[in-house]
Amino acid sequence: MPTWLYRASNAKAGSAETWEILERFGFIHRNVYSRAARMQRVANVGSVAIGDLIHLYYAGDLNLGQDFGVFRVVDPKDHSQPALFGAPVSKSALYTIAGGTLHDRLRAAQYEPDPQLDVLCGWPVVRVEGVAPRQVSAGMMFALFPTRNSLVRATS
């Protein structure tokens, strides 16, 4: 199973809110499309599959990072809160978010619906034990994410 590195940023929620959503709901937000004006899918999003691992990093000010740990992408039926999730998003392991607490929390944290699909979506995840969160230097963040892509396949 592949491992992906994912860089969340402070473009929407801060690190504490991102962490709280991740811990409380087992969810990583991700849009499929980058802009409403173009039908361009975000790089690599369609390549992540159920069972893959996502190593989540949070990049804050000055690109200093926080390593949030490793999470396995799961089918909602294997998630502790399956009612949070709606329909699968075509050609991806993403799921739409059902109305309710998670939906309301995401909107309060300034998350926007996917610009083409007009729904909130992301990965249902469960924590992989044994990887403790830690601080990450700006240099390490640049080494992990040398391009603008926020989702890259781990090389080792």
State the DSSP string of 80-107. S-GGGEEEEPTTSS-EEEPTTHHHHHHH
pLDDT of res. 133? 54
Domain total in the chain:
1
Residue in 72, 89, 86 with CA at minimum distance from that of residue 26: 72
Q: Kindly indicate the confidence band of residue 134, based on its pLDDT and cuts at 50, 70 and 90.
A: low
Burial of 80: CB neighbours in 10 Å, binned 0-12, 13-18, 19+:
exposed
Encode pLDDT of 136-150 as tens digits. Answer: 666 676 677 666 678
pLDDT at 54 (0 to 100): 93
Q: Residues 19-33: pLDDT tens digits?
A: 999 999 999 999 999
Supply the CATH number for residue 84's domain: 3.10.590
Query: Whole domain around residue 35: which residue ranges?
Result: 3-153
Query: Predicted confidence band at 58 (pLDDT cuts at 50, 70, 90)?
Result: confident
